[in-house]
């Protein structure tokens, strides 16, 4: 009679141990799963942080690059804005002796007639007849303090194709201001002032000093503005 009871006791103990085993096994599995989730979550968080950091660094670098670029551009604009066509130490217009297109003789004494002379250098190959017409009209309206003097840089004599082209451009424009033929004396003017593009303007005072220029690639309004500002400054104290 005792054997069956012992068997029941063993079965009960086995059942308890099996249940405990199951509980331990499930708990360990859950703990493992939880641990894996935490690890994955931590890895994801780390990856996200790394991505955010990389993005932040990239953004910062981009911002810094733009800032540097902006600074560089500003510097260039500032340099351009600060450069002036006004000559602090004006050079002398070289002495010369030449004729105009009508063979009238001229030399550097022509500048003494006015307080400022707008010297307009141009080529027949790129003659701006409209601009010459405006300069001519303006020269007829300006005060006695200023004048316009043209120099045809690719025409040296009153014959040939260049002379014909110069005469045609002048006639078409209706320009009435003096137009000088180019001579060897003017080569020094071009080289010393780095003049190679046309039309080009120089402002020369009554003493033959180049007080402003060369002004290249500007409009008629810019030429006149430069002349008026020079005169205004010259007579500001009087």
pLDDT digits (tens, 9 = 90+) for 2-16: 445 555 555 555 555
Q: Are residues 111 and 93 in contact, defined by beta-carbon separation less than 8 angstroms? A: yes
Residues 8 and 34 both lie in one domain: yes
Residues 136 and 99 both lie in one domain: yes
Q: What is the DSSP letter of 25?
A: H
Q: What is the pLDDT of residues 13-64, one digit of tens each?
A: 555 555 555 554 544 444 444 445 444 444 444 444 444 444 444 444 444 4
pLDDT band at 230 (very low <50, low <70, confident <90, very high): confident
Q: What is the pLDDT of residues 187-208, one digit of tens each?
A: 999 999 999 999 999 999 999 9
Q: Can you give the pLDDT at residue 222?
A: 85
Q: What is the pLDDT of residues 111-165, one digit of tens each?
A: 998 999 999 999 999 999 999 999 999 888 876 789 999 999 999 999 999 999 9
Distance CA 108, CA 96 (A): 6
Residues 133 and 38 both lie in one domain: no
Six-digit token pair at 69?
A: 């670029």
Q: Are residues 98 and 183 in contact, defined by beta-carbon separation less than 8 angstroms? A: yes
Q: Which domain holds residue 28?
A: 1-83
* 103 SS3 class: coil
pLDDT band at 224 (very low <50, low <70, confident <90, very high): confident
Percent of the chain with pLDDT over 70: 61
Residues 72 and 160 both lie in one domain: no
pLDDT band at 223 (very low <50, low <70, confident <90, very high): confident
* 220 SS3 class: helix
User: Of 52, 83, 114, which residue constitutes the final position of a domain?
Assistant: 83
Residues 47 and 145 both lie in one domain: no
Residues 108 and 224 both lie in one domain: yes
* 105 SS3 class: strand
Q: What CATH number did the domain enclosing 198 receive?
A: 3.40.30.10
φ and ψ at 235, to 5 degrees? -105, 15
Q: What is the DSSP letter of 238?
A: -
What angle do the packed helices 160-173 and 129-141 form, to 10 degrees?
60
Residues 76 and 127 both lie in one domain: no
Residues 66 and 159 both lie in one domain: no
Residues 38 and 105 both lie in one domain: no
Q: Are residues 227 and 147 in contact, defined by beta-carbon separation less than 8 angstroms? A: no
Residues 66 and 103 both lie in one domain: no
From the list 182, 133, 178, 177, the residue with the least C-alpha distance to 162 is: 182
Residues 99 and 183 both lie in one domain: yes
User: Of 56, 83, 110, which residue constitutes the final position of a domain?
Assistant: 83
* 184 SS3 class: coil
Six-digit token pair at 215?
A: 């002004």
Residues 46 and 152 both lie in one domain: no
Q: Are residues 90 and 210 in contact, defined by beta-carbon separation less than 8 angstroms? A: yes
User: Of 83, 102, 122, which residue constitutes the final position of a domain?
Assistant: 83
Number of structural domains the chain divides into: 2
Q: For strand 200-205 and strand 116-122, is the pairing parallel, antiparallel, or unpaired?
A: antiparallel
């Amino acid at each position: 009679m005792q054997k069956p009871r012992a068997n029941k006791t063993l079965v009960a103990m086995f059942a308890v141990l099996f249940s405990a085993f199951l509980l331990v096994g499930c708990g360990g599995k859950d703990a493992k799963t939880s641990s894996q989730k935490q690890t994955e979550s931590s890895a994801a968080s780390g990856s996200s942080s790394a991505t955010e950091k990389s993005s932040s660094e990239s953004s910062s670098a981009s911002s810094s690059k733009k800032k540097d670029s902006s600074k560089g551009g500003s510097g260039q604009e500032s340099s351009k804005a600060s450069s002036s066509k006004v000559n602090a130490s004006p050079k002398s217009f070289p002495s010369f002796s030449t004729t105009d297109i009508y063979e009238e003789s001229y030399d550097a004494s022509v500048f003494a007639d006015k307080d400022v002379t707008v010297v307009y250098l141009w080529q027949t190959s790129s003659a701006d007849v409209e601009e010459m017409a405006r300069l001519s009209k303006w020269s007829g309206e300006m005060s006695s303090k200023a004048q316009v003097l043209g120099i045809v840089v690719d025409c040296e004599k009153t014959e040939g194709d260049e002379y014909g082209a110069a005469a045609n451009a002048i006639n078409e424009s209706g320009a009435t201001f003096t137009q000088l033929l180019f001579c060897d004396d003017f080569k020094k003017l071009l080289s010393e002032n780095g003049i190679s593009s046309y039309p080009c303007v120089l402002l020369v005072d009554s003493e033959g000093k180049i007080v402003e220029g060369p002004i290249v690639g500007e409009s008629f309004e810019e030429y006149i503005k430069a002349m008026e500002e020079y005169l205004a400054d010259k007579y500001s104290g009087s």
